[in-house]
Amino acid sequence: MAIDPAELLDAPAAEDRLKSSFEREPISALRLGPAIAVPEDATLQEAIENLQHHHIGCVLVSAPDGTLKGIFTERDLLNRVAGKKLDWCECRVSDFMTRDPETLRPDDRIVWALNLMHMGGYRHVPLVDEQNRPVGVISVKDIVEFIVELMPDAILNLPPDPHRAPSNDEDPGGSD
C-alpha cells in the first residue's frame, strides 16, 4: 500500500506557503556557494578540473575585466566535448562554453530563477552584479533544498520506500 505524500500535509496551505516564499524571497536568501570562474583563455582541462575539484555542475567564464562572458556546464561537456579527439590542455573553454548566458541578480526573486530555468531548460543560472561580474550561481539543487527547508517534516518523514506503508509504534518491525 503506497503512501500518498498529500496525506502528510495540508496541500492548500503548503502550496500557498511555497508560492508565497518563491514570490517573496530573493535568490540571496538561498544558501549559495561562491561563483567559481575561470578566465576565458583557460583550457578545457582547467575548467573540468574546477568542476571536479569543487563538485559543481558549471563554471563561469570571465573576461579580463572580470565581466561574465559565458558558462561552461556538464551539458556543454557532454554535447560539445565528449567523444571528440581533443587535447584538453590545448583547447580553450571559450570555444565550448555557452556565450552570453541569461543572468539574474542576487536581489531578484526566486520565482524569476524558476521561470528562467523552466523556460530556458537551464539547471544553472549565473548571478551577476550591476557591472555584470559573476557573484554566484543558482541551481535546481539550491531550489530543491529551499523547498525541503520549507516543508522538512512532510518531506523528511516520508517512508524510505514509496510503495510500502510506514511501520507504526505497535508494529515497529517488518514482516519476513
pLDDT digits (tens, 9 = 90+) for 40-76: 999 999 999 999 999 999 999 999 999 999 999 999 9
- Residues 117 and 140: beta-carbon distance below 8 Å: yes
Q: What totals of helices (H) and strands (E) does the chain contain, helices first?
A: 6, 6
C-alpha cell at 149: 527547508
pLDDT tens string, the chain, 176 residues long: the values are: 344 555 445 555 666 777 888 889 999 999 898 899 999 999 999 999 999 999 999 999 999 999 999 999 999 999 999 999 999 999 999 999 999 999 999 999 999 999 999 999 999 999 999 999 999 999 999 999 998 888 777 677 777 787 766 566 554 555 54
C-alpha cell at 103: 543572468
> Is the overall model pTM greater than 0.85, yes or no?
no
Q: What is the pLDDT of residue 151?
A: 78
Order of strands, sheet of 37-39, starting from the edge strand that comes earlier in the sequence: 37-39, 58-62, 68-73, 98-99
